[in-house]
Chains A and B, each alone.
Chain A
Amino acid sequence: MQSNAALEYDYTVAKLFTFTTILFGILGMIIGTLIAAQLAFPELNYLLGEYGTFSRLRPVHTTVVIYGFTLSGVFATFYYVSQRVLKVSMAESKFIMFMGKFHFWLYFVGALLATISLLLGYSQSKEYAQYEWPIDIVIVIIWVSWGVAMFALIGIRREKALYISMWYYIACFLGVAMLYLFNNMAVPTYFASGGLGSIMHSVSMYSGTNDALVQWWWGHNAVAFVFTVPIVAMIYYFLPKESGQAIYSYKLSLLSFWGLMFIYLWAGSHHLLWSTVPDWMQTMGSVFSVVLILPSWGSAINMLLTMKGEWNQLTENPLIKFMVLASTFYMLSTLEGPIQAIKSVNAIAHFTDWIPGHVHDGVLGWVVFMIMAGLFHMAPRMFKKEIYSKNLLEAQFWLQTTAVVLYFTSMWIAGITQGMMWRAVDEYGNLMYSFIDTVTVLHPYYAIRALSGVLYLTGFLMFAYNMIKTMTSGRELSEEPQFRSPMA
């Protein structure tokens, strides 16, 4: 294809996914804050009858923030970044444009149906894979339509070399596709029994320990291929572009990519330490988790070194601040995870609040910060408007950073206290504490977590307001900014 000066990138689909990122972010975080408050103040469980209980809302929170907010962010940035690094516009192919829009609308309707199904209590009771089989089928079609759009776009590219971000987006697509299918293999009982029970109900094709292993093969790789891989894709594009500095070492980015692919897939069994899975498999999960530090830090250090000689931008540009903090939290959580996966540490950490503490310093500090920074970078280019308020951005940064610190510190203390109390025995070997003793001790930390949820949600609403004001009343830009995003 010949380049055409009049041709422009088409951000229609990227904009649509930007809206759902904001919408699902608000929804998921409101529910998250509510269930955090329910743990501290149990009477909040009875606000909405069966629909407002912790057990009903917890999977809604996790799935809305993972598959609603995060995936919308992944798709929004994908439809933006891929056009630019492949140097091809979606407007050049009616087929790609159709697939992109089809992907969005099916995703939006599917996400609403999926959320309603969970609220109604339809669940296959597998963590991060709660959706019942009819929803799974819709999800497969959504995922395939993304893949078709992705590979069609790659097929007509002008830039022959695939930039490192594309490798990560492709890995996200392939990893989730493979593992989602394996983990959701189930038999719908209505059809298998000749019409008995609910049409929505199914049972897993695996049983017992095998089911647990496949579940955590998926469960941990939901973290790998939704919370890590596509977010790394984002930072490899947005940090260099916003700062005007090329990646410090492209070779290191390739090496970290293959290292991450090779190791991450086999770390999932650390979720089953001290359980009935074979001992060698538990050890393998621990070893792979520890080795995982290397490729994770390879990417994170590569990002920090990209800022070499340009650290002044950290004080001048809030978006750089967001991304550097995201990278730092990525380092923190990828060090914390392997520590928790060491068998002796896990004996204390397993089933305690240290685990959600770890998850949240990763997602709040790394995933959400990176997605928000990406969307803020995209906004002036997509809407041709200046970012509405730099002051609001700065205030949001500090508010949410405080919230993340409050969240993980309270959960570290709560988790370790809990683990130690559960294991404490007196001189005769009797347990020293009953379960309710731990609940009493942990109450203040649960209250701090709920407070941190309120702060983080407030920050997210500031982000949503800033984005909407940018779209509606930001100052018009006469030309596209090359690197640093303009803000008022």
Chain B
Amino acid sequence: MEIRELQAYASFFMSIFLVVILYWYIIYLYRSEKKGDKDYEKLGNIALDDEIDSRPINTSSVTPSEKKEKDK
């Protein structure tokens, strides 16, 4: 097999692999939010509440108290 043919196959299978990773990422995003582990949407507020002395949103994870509130 020529090097060019090998390069073509490598490119094809690498693309497939990365597509699988990307789809896994979509599933991960939605599943972790559904389970209550993460709250991505609240991160949108970082742009709106951006004073230097305003309270940081801090982490994308839901705090234990927030999770408790959600589970009720």
Mutual binders A and B: yes
Within B25-58, the residues touching A (CB, 8 Å) are: 25-26, 29-30, 33, 40-41, 43-48, 50-54, 56-58
Asked if B46 contacts A249 (CB within 8 A), the reply is no
Question: In whole angstroms, what is the CA distance A165 to B48 when docked?
Answer: 13
Question: In whole angstroms, what is the CA distance A4 to B48 when docked?
Answer: 20
Contacts A84-B50, A161-B58; is A254 near B40 (CB within 8 Å)? yes
Within A301-357, the residues touching B (CB, 8 Å) are: none
Cross-interface CB contact of B44 among A246, A259, A278, cutoff 8 Å:
A246
Contacts A9-B52, A255-B25, A284-B11; is A160 near B40 (CB within 8 Å)? no
Question: In whole angstroms, what is the CA distance A159 to B48 when docked?
Answer: 13
B15 proximity list for chain A (CB < 8 A): 266
Question: In whole angstroms, what is the CA distance A259 to B18 when docked?
Answer: 10
Question: In whole angstroms, what is the CA distance A152 to B67 when docked?
Answer: 33
Asked if B8 contacts A278 (CB within 8 A), the reply is yes
Asked if B52 contacts A236 (CB within 8 A), the reply is no
Cross-interface CB contact of B52 among A87, A241, A249, A258, cutoff 8 Å:
A87
Asked if B63 is at the interface (CB within 8 A of a chain A CB), the reply is no
Asked if A247 contacts B47 (CB within 8 A), the reply is yes
Distance in angstroms from B50 CB to nearest chain A CB is 4
Asked if B48 contacts A250 (CB within 8 A), the reply is no
Cross-interface CB contact of B50 among A241, A249, A278, cutoff 8 Å:
A241
Asked if A251 contacts B57 (CB within 8 A), the reply is no
Contacts A8-B52, A284-B11; is A251 near B47 (CB within 8 Å)? no
Q: How many residues of B contact A (CB 8 A)?
A: 30
B53 proximity list for chain A (CB < 8 A): 3-5, 7
Cross-interface CB contact of A262 among B22, B54, B56, cutoff 8 Å:
B22
Asked if A390 is at the interface (CB within 8 A of a chain B CB), the reply is no
Asked if B11 contacts A241 (CB within 8 A), the reply is no
Question: In whole angstroms, what is the CA distance A121 to B58 when docked?
Answer: 52
Asked if B46 contacts A159 (CB within 8 A), the reply is yes
Asked if A251 contacts B11 (CB within 8 A), the reply is no
Contact with B along A233-266 (1 / 0, CB 8 A): 0001100110010110111001100110010001
Q: How many residues of A contact B (CB 8 A)?
A: 40
Question: In whole angstroms, what is the CA distance A281 to B53 when docked?
Answer: 52
Asked if B47 contacts A163 (CB within 8 A), the reply is yes
Closest to A5 in B: B53
Asked if B44 contacts A250 (CB within 8 A), the reply is yes
A89 proximity list for chain B (CB < 8 A): 52
Question: In whole angstroms, what is the CA distance A160 to B42 when docked?
Answer: 13
Asked if B29 contacts A254 (CB within 8 A), the reply is yes
Closest to B55 in A: A3
Distance in angstroms from B71 CB to nearest chain A CB is 21
Contacts A251-B30, A251-B41, A258-B25; is A241 near B56 (CB within 8 Å)? no
Asked if A280 contacts B48 (CB within 8 A), the reply is no
Asked if B29 contacts A251 (CB within 8 A), the reply is yes
Asked if A158 is at the interface (CB within 8 A of a chain B CB), the reply is yes
Distance in angstroms from B61 CB to nearest chain A CB is 9
Closest to A6 in B: B53
Asked if B56 contacts A159 (CB within 8 A), the reply is yes
Distance in angstroms from B47 CB to nearest chain A CB is 5
Closest to A83 in B: B52
A258 proximity list for chain B (CB < 8 A): 22, 25
Question: In whole angstroms, what is the CA distance A4 to B53 when docked?
Answer: 7
Contact with A along B1-16 (1 / 0, CB 8 A): 0001001100100010
Question: In whole angstroms, what is the CA distance A254 to B28 when docked?
Answer: 12
Distance in angstroms from B53 CB to nearest chain A CB is 5
Cross-interface CB contact of A240 among B29, B30, B47, B57, cutoff 8 Å:
B47
Contact with B along A405-424 (1 / 0, CB 8 A): 00000000000000000000
B46 proximity list for chain A (CB < 8 A): 85, 159, 161, 163
Asked if B43 contacts A161 (CB within 8 A), the reply is yes
Asked if B52 contacts A251 (CB within 8 A), the reply is no
Question: In whole angstroms, what is the CA distance A244 to B47 when docked?
Answer: 9
Cross-interface CB contact of A87 among B18, B41, B54, B60, cutoff 8 Å:
B54
**Of B22, B50, B60, most A-chain CB atoms within 10 Å:** B50
Closest to A248 in B: B44
Within A60-104, the residues touching B (CB, 8 Å) are: 83-85, 87-89
Distance in angstroms from B38 CB to nearest chain A CB is 10
Interface residues of A (CB under 8 A from B): 3-5, 7-9, 83-85, 87-89, 158-161, 163-165, 236-237, 240-241, 244, 246-247, 249-251, 254-255, 258-259, 262, 266, 278, 280-281, 284, 483
Interface residues of B (CB under 8 A from A): 4, 7-8, 11, 15, 18, 22, 25-26, 29-30, 33, 40-41, 43-48, 50-54, 56-60
Besides A83-B52, A250-B41, 6 other CB < 8 A contacts?
A160-B58, A161-B59, A241-B48, A259-B22, A278-B8, A280-B11
Sample of 20 A–B contacts (CB below 8 Å)? A5-B53, A9-B52, A83-B52, A85-B50, A87-B51, A158-B56, A161-B46, A161-B59, A164-B43, A165-B47, A240-B47, A241-B50, A244-B48, A246-B41, A246-B45, A254-B40, A262-B22, A266-B15, A278-B8, A483-B48
